Amino acid sequence: MRGAEAILTRKRLLGRECVVKARMVKGYREKELDCRLRGERTRGEARLLHKAKLAGVPCPAVLELDEFSITMEFLEGERPEMGLGESCEAGRMLAKLHAADIIHGDYTPANLIASRAGTGSGKAMHVIDFGLGYISNDVEDKAVDVFTMLRALEKKEKKDAFIEGYRAYEKEKAVLARVRDVEKRVRYAV
Ligand SMILES: Nc1ncnc2c1ncn2[C@@H]1O[C@H](COP(=O)(O)OP(=O)(O)O)[C@@H](O)[C@H]1O
Ligand SMILES: [Mg+2]
């Protein structure tokens, strides 16, 4: 498993299946800056995973934190198909993240996993990859998270189901109004 910045590997730790997400050296960056950025992003992601869990959003538990890598719980499962139920659940999870002022930064189906982990039976949606996330109470930042998922969902029924779930957030009206502004800006920009 390899992303733009990190390499993910599986391992067992104390009998548990884990994933190690390690941020790799970027040779084109000056060494000191590279170390600082990788360290900050690693700590930032671990902090957001922890905060998201406290906010009641299912996500991998952080088991170990090193300077440039996070060892987290492996979620057995797959990328959700984003039917209406899953789209609505994706909206409810984002509502909880935003109520805690957590901005995901890349909220798409590729960063969700439908997994049995942590549930008694059946599959539940989990959020992963807080690598681009940060804390903010800005309406614009929240609108961009909503916009990112809406664009990925494509079909109107799925978008509506996602928005229905997102309405659980108390400031949903302000955010959804801003989403319409973001959509206009994107349309005029192309
Ligand atoms: N905790 C996890 N359990 C199972 N699979 C995971 C876990 N974390 C990441 N993955 C898998 O690895 C891929 C890349 O991880 P991600 O954190 O999204 O990194 P990137 O920043 O490179 O997108 C994910 O799309 C998912 O398939
Ligand atoms: Mg990802």
CATH assignment at residue 111: 1.10.510.10
- Under the phi-then-psi rule, with left for phi > 0, alpha for psi from -120 to 50, and beta for the rest, what region is 147? alpha
Instruction: Tell me if 83 CB under 6 Å of ligand 1.
Output: no
The total of structural domains in the chain comes to 2
Centre of ligand 2 from the C-alpha of residue 102, in Å = 17
If asked whether residues 65 and 126 sit together in one domain, one would say no
Instruction: Tell me if 110 CB under 6 Å of ligand 1.
Output: yes
If asked whether residues 58 and 105 sit together in one domain, one would say no
In-domain check, residue 53 = yes
Residue type, 187: R
In-domain check, residue 178 = yes
- Could you tell me the CA-to-CA distances from 83 to 13, 33, 109 in Å, in that order? 34, 43, 11
The answer to whether the predicted template modeling score (pTM) of the entire model surpasses 0.85 is yes
Query: Average pLDDT for residues 113-122, to the nearest whole number?
Result: 83
The domain boundary, picked from 40, 73, 106, lies at 73
In-domain check, residue 124 = yes
If asked whether residues 13 and 91 sit together in one domain, one would say no
- 4-42: per-residue pLDDT in tens? 789 999 999 989 999 999 999 988 889 999 999 999 999
How large a percentage of the chain has pLDDT more than 70?
Answer: 97
pLDDT score of 43: 97
Three-state DSSP class for residue 93: helix
Told to judge if 101 belongs to the known catalytic residues of this protein, a careful annotator would answer no
CATH at 36 = 3.30.200.20
If asked whether residues 156 and 63 sit together in one domain, one would say no
- 152-178: per-residue pLDDT in tens? 999 999 999 999 999 999 999 999 999
132: containing domain: 77-189
If asked whether residues 112 and 185 sit together in one domain, one would say yes
The mean predicted confidence, pLDDT, of the chain is 95
pLDDT score of 167: 98
Q: Is the pLDDT of residue 2 over 90?
A: no
pLDDT score of 9: 97
